[in-house]
Structure 1
């Protein structure tokens, strides 16, 4: 069953055609990667799927429902969450508080509830706090729960953003370069975390430049070049595709990808 369908997406900024008739489907439970050279349109595609941009052409469907151009918070309510290439944490808030922010869509809202149902509100807050602590433990940050986000090591901050995205209980999680800027040890932690997220039933779509990571993790890979689909297939197919090697991987990158899937 397809959880996400992207159909003939196109968008232009001024005279620049950023995406041109891009389409793919992601099966429920899959780890699906989008790769390509800088400027290929990967983040633009993510911004369309997550509701930050409205495409000029095409449709996005989530669980069979047309969600094209729906605002991000409404998409989150429907089960889609994302992280960003550049960290978007609340630096002065603690790690725990950052994750609790991600829970707000799963909490009851309304001024009358807070005025007249104080005990219920306090109970719900305790549940959110407990759930946030569970998520911090899941990403390996339980000991840093009370640390300000801006005091965390870079790799830990990357995992914190993933924990916050998971707090909304998504069916599908979009990860925009989750290992960017990470050292090999931090990348290994991110890889193990993504595997466990998928094992728990959350579909993952990621944009990533680390080809070893992509080749080890992904079930399928979609390659963009100059805003158009260049190829799609399993890692073993993509690493041997001459057009992908020429446009993106190069011979060194192809060797790195081969080592990952060997």
Structure 2
């Protein structure tokens, strides 16, 4: 490691706290996000500590070109983010935001030492630091996918093992939580069980919760709303919760009329409202 790289290494370590604060100050209000600007002081301090650790690991890459300190830390952090349900795209957005802050600090160092820095140093620093950030994002995405897949599989297995997929929450209201890919439920037996159970439970309303469904294609969206029509024939109103924007867009493209169906963003809101009504 040459003299100027050593000085950059020391300079960045001196500004670890400053960069962390700048990143925390850049946050905005984000619903369902650990990064939201209105997070508790405990969460904010947790984020500060994790950011400082990450910064030191990135700076270490300048010293020895090693990314070995990243993998274990990324796996631990990713597991926690995924278990909290923090959307992946928000984490990626904040990595990009912090990369901008970090590289701005490198630029500040270059401006202070222009006469002593050669172009080859700048190119090396840029390549090393960007590779470290890219490696971080790659690992984070990989581990997040693994955790999310494991969660979805476990939940799907739990649902499939239940003899009663419809959960009764009152004398007249039931909930059908769908988890994983909608096509996992594509079987006449599953649909028939829904109908039979809803009728046997003497439900007047069934809540179909889609918050655990990551995506849905055109065919399955159409089949889902066919189920809604079948329930209507049985005299059972349907309420749908947790509809993601892409699902709503697919339904609109199909010309499906939402006007006769209650929809809520969150399951708890539908439950509170329907139980209050009844």
Above 0.5 in TM-score?
no
Larger RCO (CA under 8 A, 6+ residues apart): 1
Superposition TM-score, scaled by structure 1 size = 0.27
Q: Which has the higher helix share?
A: 2
Larger Rg: 2
Superposition TM-score, scaled by structure 2 size = 0.26
Q: Which has the higher strand share?
A: 1
